[in-house]
Structure 1
Amino acid sequence: MLQTVERTIISKDWFTLFFVITFCLLVFTRFVFRKQFGLFLEFLVSNKYQNNFLAKQEDLINGFTTLLFGIQIISFAIFGYVAATFFRPHLVNTPLLFVKIISFLLFFSIIKYIIEKIIAVILDIEKYVNIYNFHKISARNLFGLLLIPINLLIVYWLDGNKYVFFSVILTFFAYNFIVFFFLLKNHQKLIISKLFYFILYLCALEIAPYFVIYKFLIK
Structure 2
Amino acid sequence: MLRELVSNEIFTILLVFSLLLIAIARMAYPKRFHDFSYILVNYKYSNAYNKHSEFINGFESILFGNLIVQLTLSVVVFYNLWADLDLTASDLYLKIGLGLGAFMLVKTILERVVSKILNITSIVYDYLFLKLNFKNFIGLLLVPINAILIFSVHPQPNYLYIIAILLFIVHIIGLSYFFKTHLNTIKNNLFYFILYLCALEISPYVVLYKLITTT
Q: Same fold (TM over 0.5)?
A: yes
Question: Are positions 1:160 and 2:155 aligned together?
Answer: yes
In our comparison, the structure showing a higher alpha carbon Rg is: 1
Letter paired with 1:48 = K
RMSD of equivalent CA atoms? 1.7
Q: Distance in 1 between matches of 2:86 and 2:168?
A: 27
Tell me if the contact between 1:112 and 1:205 (Cα under 8 Å) persists in the aligned partners: yes
Question: Are positions 1:42 and 2:38 aligned together?
Answer: yes
Secondary structure (helix, strand or coil) at the match of 1:11 reads coil
Q: Distance in 2 between matches of 1:126 and 1:20?
A: 38
Which of 53, 56, 61 pairs up with 1:61?
A: 56
> Which residue does 2:137 correspond to in 1?
142
**Residues 24 and 152 of structure 1: CA distance in aligned 2, closer, same or farther (over 3 Å):** same
Structure 1 residue 182 displacement after superposition: 2.5
> Which residue does 1:100 correspond to in 2?
95
Percent of aligned pairs with the same residue? 35
Segments of 4+ in structure 1 off by > 6 A?
none
> Which residue does 1:21 correspond to in 2?
17
Once the two structures are overlaid, the 10-residue window that deviates more, 7-16 or 75-84, is: 7-16
Relative contact order, higher structure (CA 8 A, sep 6+): 2
Question: Are positions 1:109 and 2:104 aligned together?
Answer: yes
> Which residue does 2:186 correspond to in 1?
191
- 5+ unaligned residues in a row in structure 2: which ranges? none
> Which residue does 1:176 correspond to in 2?
171
1:178-199 C-alpha deviation (Å, 9 max, x unpaired): 3222211121012111111111
Which of 188, 204, 207 pairs up with 2:202?
A: 207
Q: Distance in 1 between matches of 2:53 and 2:29?
A: 14
The size of the alignment, in residue pairs, is 211
Tell me if the contact between 1:33 and 1:64 (Cα under 8 Å) persists in the aligned partners: yes
- 5+ unaligned residues in a row in structure 1: which ranges? 1-6
> Which residue does 2:128 correspond to in 1?
133
Q: Distance in 2 between matches of 1:121 and 1:157?
A: 48
Structure 1 residue 217 displacement after superposition: 1.7
TM-score, reference length from structure 1: 0.90
TM-score, reference length from structure 2: 0.92
Structure 1 residue 173 displacement after superposition: 2.3
